[in-house]
Amino acid sequence: MALRLADRLRSLEKRGITIIDTRQTYLDEHVDINRICAGSILYPGTRLIGARTFIGPGAKVGSEGPATVDNGILGENAEIAGGFLKEAVLMRGARVGANAHVRAGSLLEEEASTAHAVGLKHTILLSYVTFGSIINFCDGLIAGGASRKGHSEVGSGFIHFNYSPWGQYGDKATPSLIGDVPRGVFLREARIFLGGAGGVVGPQKVGFGSITAAGQVIRDEVPENRLVCKPAPEIDKESSRHRTDPPEKRTELNLEYIGQLLALKAWYEEVRLSRIPGSEEFDHLRIVTEEAIKTLQTCIQERINRLLSFLAERVADRPVIKFDVKPCPLTIKCEQPYVDHVDWVRGVPEDFLREGVSWLKSIAESVNIS
C-alpha cells in the first residue's frame, strides 16, 4: 500500500530534507522520494509532481512564494524562488526568481539565473547567463561571458517574438541564436547584452560581444562586437495571412540552430557525462546531466518538427534533415578528486580548446536538408 502523504514527508525529513511546514507541502503519488536529496529545502507552498522530478542537494524550492515542480530537475544548490517549473533542468547553482514560468525544453546551466516573472520554453541559458525581470523568451539559446560578473544578459521587459503569422496557420520555425555553442561552452567569449524594453524577431542571430540598445526590436542579424540601435520600420501596405515568403533564409537559420543543439548534446554526452566519477557521491550530478541530455533531445526534435511543418506549406516534397555527429577527439578523463565542470572547462589548455571548438563546429555545420 502506498504511504500516506504525511508518512512520506516524515520519511523525507528523516533523510535530511528540510521541510519548513509539512502542512503546506505536497508530493503527488508519482514522486520518487529517493530523488529528493538530503540537504534540500522545501519551503511552504511547495508542490512536487511526477516521477521525473529531482531535487538535488542544497536545492531550494519556493524560497519566495509557492512553487510547483512538475517533472522538473534541480541540480545541486539550484533554486526556484516561486512559480512553475515543468520538464526543465536547472544545473548547479542555477536560479529562477519569483513567479517564474519555465516549461519543457528549458535548460539553465551553472549559475545562470532569472529575476522575477520570467517565462521560458525550449530555451537554453549557458553558464552565468542572466535575465532581468518580466521577460518572455521562448525558443532561443544564449551564450557568452566568462564569469558571474562578466556574463551575457537580457534586460528587463524583453520579448523574443517566436511566432510568424504567415501561411495557413502561422509557424514557430523561429529559434534565435545569441552567441553559439562551439565557442560558448568554453566560457571565454565576450559577453552579450540585449537591452531591456525590447525584443528580437526570430529566427535571428546576435554575435558575441554585441550590445543592442534598450527600447528596440531587433529584426536583422547582429554581427560580433557591434552596438546596434535602429528605429522601427514604417510599414503600411495591403497584406494577407496566406502570404508565404521564400523559405531559404528561414530554413538556413533553423538548420544552423539544430546544428548548435546537436553540438551541445554531444558536448554533454561525450565530455560532461564522461567526466563524472562512478561513485555514489556523484549520483546526483550524473542524474542531472542525463536529464539535461534528454531535454536537449526534446529541443532537437521540437526544432526539426517546427522546420518540417514550416516547409510543408512551401516545398513540394517532404524534405529529409541529415547530420553527422562525429566522435569526440578529446581525451576525457574521469579524474579524482572531481573538479566542478565550470572550473575544469575554464582551465583547459589552448590546444584542447581549439580541438574542442573544431569538433563542435564540425557537428553544428554538418546539418543539411535534402
- The confidence score (pLDDT) of residue 1 equals 38
Q: What is the largest CA-CA distance in the chain?
A: 68
Write the pLDDT tens digit of every residue in 242-290. 776 779 999 999 999 999 999 999 999 999 999 999 999 999 999 999 9
Tell which wins on pLDDT, 275 or 1. 275
Q: Which CATH class is domain 5-228?
A: mainly beta
Looking at residues 123-150, what average pLDDT do you find? Answer: 97
CA dist 291 → 79, 145, 325 (Å)? 17, 25, 20
Per DSSP, what are the bridge partners of residue 141?
124, 177
Q: Which amino acid is at 66?
A: P
2 has pLDDT over 70: no
Task: Provide the H-helix boundaries in 33-122.
Answer: none
In this structure, are residues 103 and 87 in contact, taking their beta carbons and an 8 Å threshold?
Answer: yes
Per DSSP, what are the bridge partners of residue 275?
none
How far is CA 226 from its chain centroid?
Answer: 25
Query: 3-state DSSP call for residue 48?
Result: strand
- Evaluate the omega torsion of the peptide bond into residue 337 and state whether it is cis, within 30 degrees of 0: yes
Task: Provide the H-helix boundaries in the chain.
Answer: 5-14, 181-184, 248-267, 283-312, 341-346, 350-364
Question: What percentage of the chain has pLDDT greater than the value 70?
Answer: 99
The three three-digit cell numbers of residue 247, written as one number: 523559405
- The confidence score (pLDDT) of residue 361 equals 98
CA dist 19 → 15, 47, 84, 272 (Å)? 11, 12, 19, 32
How do the domains of the chain map onto residue ranges?
A: 5-228, 248-369
In this structure, are residues 116 and 97 in contact, taking their beta carbons and an 8 Å threshold?
Answer: yes
112 has pLDDT over 70: yes
Q: For all residues of the chain together, what is the average pLDDT?
A: 96
- The confidence score (pLDDT) of residue 239 equals 81
* Distance, CA of 20 to CA of 44 (rounded, Å): 6
Quick one: the chain helix, strand, coil %, rounded to 5? 25, 25, 50
Helices and strands, counts by H and E, the chain: 6, 29
Range of weakest confidence among 86-90, 113-117, 167-171: 167-171
Taking residue 324's Cβ as centre, other Cβ atoms within 10 Å add up to: 11
Write the pLDDT tens digit of every residue in 277-335. 999 999 999 999 999 999 999 999 999 999 999 999 888 888 999 999 999 999 998 98
Q: How confident is the model at residue 64 (pLDDT cuts 50, 70, 90)?
A: very high
Looking at residues 106-117, what average pLDDT do you find? Answer: 98
The three three-digit cell numbers of residue 267, written as one number: 558536448
Per DSSP, what are the bridge partners of residue 194?
154, 212
Q: Which amino acid is at 224?
A: E
Which residues have a Cβ under 8 Å from the Cβ of 328 and sit 6 or more positions away? 266, 270, 271, 359
**CA dihedral angle for residue 94, residue 31, residue 279, residue 296, rounded to 10 degrees:** -50
